Structure 1
Amino acid sequence: MEMRDITFLIIGATKSATTWLQQSLQLDPCVYMPDPEIHYFSRYHHRGDEWYLENFKPDHKRLVIGEKSNSYLDTPTAAARIHQSLPNVLLVAQLRNPVERAYSDYCMLHRRGEATGDIERYLDPRHGVGGRFLEGGLYYQQLRRFLDLFPRERMLVLFFEDLKRDAAGQVHDLRRFLTLEENPAFEPMAQKIKDKTKPLVDARLRRLLKPLKPFIAPLRDTKGFEFVRSIVSAEFKYVPLNKELTSRMVGYYEHETDRLAGLLGRDLDHWLRAPLEDIKRQST
Structure 2
Amino acid sequence: MDGERVAFIVAGVQKGGTTALFDYLGEESDLAPSRVKEVHFFDDEAVNWAAPDYGAYHAQFAPFDGRPRGEATPIYLYWPGSLERICAYNSAMKLIVMLRDPVARAWSHWKMEYARRVETEPFAWCIRQGRQRLFDAEPWGVHREVSYVERGFYGEQMARLFDLFPREQVLILRSDELRADPAAGLGAVRRFLGLPDGPSPAPREVHVGAQMDYGGELTAQDIAHLRAVYARDAERLADLTGVRFG
What range is the shorter-chain TM-score in? 0.7 to 0.9
Q: Answer yes or no: is 1:14 the counterpart of 2:17.
A: no
The equivalent residue for 2:58 is: 53
Aligned residues: 228
Q: Secondary structure at the match of 2:209?
A: coil
Deviation, structure 1 residue 245: 1.8
Q: Secondary structure at the match of 1:132?
A: coil
Q: Secondary structure at the match of 1:36?
A: coil
Q: Secondary structure at the match of 2:21?
A: helix
Q: Secondary structure at the match of 1:66?
A: strand
5+ residue gaps, structure 2, are 135-145
Cα RMSD over matched residues? 1.9
The equivalent residue for 1:255 is: 232
The equivalent residue for 2:122 is: 118
State the distance in 2 between where 1:76 and 1:105 align.
19
Q: Secondary structure at the match of 1:72?
A: coil
Please, what TM-score do these two structures have when normalized by structure 1? 0.75
The equivalent residue for 1:25 is: 25
State the distance in 2 between where 1:189 and 1:195 align.
17
Deviation, structure 1 residue 162: 1.4
The equivalent residue for 1:242 is: 219
Contact 2:95/2:170 (<8 A) preserved = yes
* Residue in structure 1 matching 2:95, options 78, 88, 91: 91
The equivalent residue for 1:193 is: 206
Q: Secondary structure at the match of 1:103?
A: helix
State the distance in 2 between where 1:144 and 1:40 align.
22
Deviation, structure 1 residue 153: 0.5
State the distance in 2 between where 1:14 and 1:195 align.
13
Deviation, structure 1 residue 180: 1.2
Describe the superposition over 1:247-275 as per-residue Cα deviations: whole angstroms up to 9, x where unpaired: 11110011111110010134x1xx23xxx
Deviation, structure 1 residue 164: 2.8
The equivalent residue for 2:191 is: 176
Deviation, structure 1 residue 117: 4.2
Deviation, structure 1 residue 192: 1.2
Deviation, structure 1 residue 59: 5.8
Deviation, structure 1 residue 8: 0.4
Describe the superposition over 1:213-233 as per-residue Cα deviations: whole angstroms up to 9, x where unpaired: xxxxxxxxxxxxxxxxxxxxx
Instruction: Name segments (4+ residues, structure 1) moved above 4 Å.
Output: 1-4
* Residue in structure 1 matching 2:151, options 136, 142, 147: 136
Call closer, same or farther: CA 1:11–1:194 in 2, change over 3 Å: same
Deviation, structure 1 residue 171: 0.9
Contact 1:25/1:188 (<8 A) preserved = no
Q: Secondary structure at the match of 1:28?
A: coil
Deviation, structure 1 residue 45: 6.0
State the distance in 2 between where 1:36 and 1:44 align.
19
Please, what TM-score do these two structures have when normalized by structure 2? 0.86
Q: Answer yes or no: is 1:157 the counterpart of 2:161.
A: no
The equivalent residue for 1:104 is: 108
Mean alpha-carbon deviation: is it higher for 236-245 or for 142-151? Answer: 236-245
Q: Secondary structure at the match of 1:148?
A: helix
State the distance in 2 between where 1:146 and 1:164 align.
25
Describe the superposition over 1:89-137 as per-residue Cα deviations: whole angstroms up to 9, x where unpaired: 100000000000000000001011111142223223x542645110110
Contact 1:103/1:123 (<8 A) preserved = no
Call closer, same or farther: CA 1:16–1:162 in 2, change over 3 Å: same
Contact 1:20/1:189 (<8 A) preserved = no
Q: Secondary structure at the match of 1:174?
A: helix
State the distance in 1 between where 2:41 and 2:182 align.
29
